[in-house]
A = this chain, B = another copy of it.
Amino acid sequence: MQDEKKAVILLSGGLDSTTVLAMAKDRGFACHCLSFRYGQRQELELEKAQHIARHFGASHLILRVDLDIIGGSALTTGAAVPKDRPMNTVGQDIPATYVPGRNIIFLAHALAWAEVLGADDIFLGINAMDYSGYPDCRPEFLEAFARMASLGTRAGVQGRAFRFHAPLQYLSKKEIIVRGLALGVDYSMTHSCYDPVDGRACGHCDACRLRLKGFAEAGAQDPAPYAS
C-alpha cells in the first residue's frame, strides 16, 4: 500500500462521478473524494456522496463554495428547472442549469488539494456527449486548465505534471452505465436529479431523462427511487 498512488476525484454523488470513482479505484489509485456545498437546493447529493465515498473506502472532503452568493443560475437562484424538454434539444444549447465558473472553481480546489496531498491525478466526470452545452465540460477546456495548472502551482513548476482524467469524456450515458455495471457499481446509491421530490428523483428534468434513457439503452433497470 505504501506506494499506492493518490488521486483526487470530484464526486457529486451522481451517476457519472460515481462511475469515475469506480474506474479510478479499479486502476489502483488511493482515492480522495472532493464534494462541494455551493447552495444546492438540497443536501441530498452531499449525503449520497458521503455514503458513496465510504462505500468505496475513499477519504472524503466537503468544501464550501459561495456559488449561491455569486449567483446567476437555475441551480442556485431558485429559477425553475426545465422539465420534459424534447430530448433533441438536451445538450444543444448552453442550459439554464449552467453555473458560471462552477467547474473552474471545483477544479481549482481539486488542484489545490492534489498539491497538498501529493497527488498527481485528478479525475472528473465531465462528458462531451450529453453535456456538450456546458463550455466547462469540453476537452479543449480541460487541456487549457491542465496547462494553467502546470504553470500556476509549485508542483507544476518543480516538474510534477498534473493529469486531469475525464474517462467519460467520449462515452454516451449508455456506455457509462455499461462500464459502471461491469465494475459492480450499485447505482441505487447515486443521485442525478436537479429537482428531487422527498428524496426521490423527479424523472422529468434533463438529468433524469438522460439517465433513464441511458439505462433503457443499456438494457438495465435504474435502481434509484423515482417519484413518478
Q: Tell me whether B63 and A152 are in contact (CB under 8 A).
A: no
Tell me whether A144 and B140 are in contact in the complex, defined as CB-CB below 8 angstroms, given that A104-B108, A116-B71 are known contacts: no
- A155–B98 Cα distance when bound, in Å, is 11
| Chain A residues touching B, majority SS | helix
Asked if A167 is at the interface of the complex by the 8 Å CB criterion, the answer is: no
Asked if A64 is at the interface of the complex by the 8 Å CB criterion, the answer is: yes
Residues of B within 8 A of A154 (CB): 94, 98, 100, 135
Tell me whether A104 and B144 are in contact in the complex, defined as CB-CB below 8 angstroms, given that A112-B67, A135-B157 are known contacts: no
Size bracket of the A interface: 35 or more
A132 to chain B, nearest CB (A): 11
Asked if A161 is at the interface of the complex by the 8 Å CB criterion, the answer is: no
Asked if A109 is at the interface of the complex by the 8 Å CB criterion, the answer is: yes
Q: Tell me whether A112 and B100 are in contact (CB under 8 A).
A: yes
Tell me whether A138 and B151 are in contact in the complex, defined as CB-CB below 8 angstroms, given that A66-B64, A112-B104 are known contacts: yes
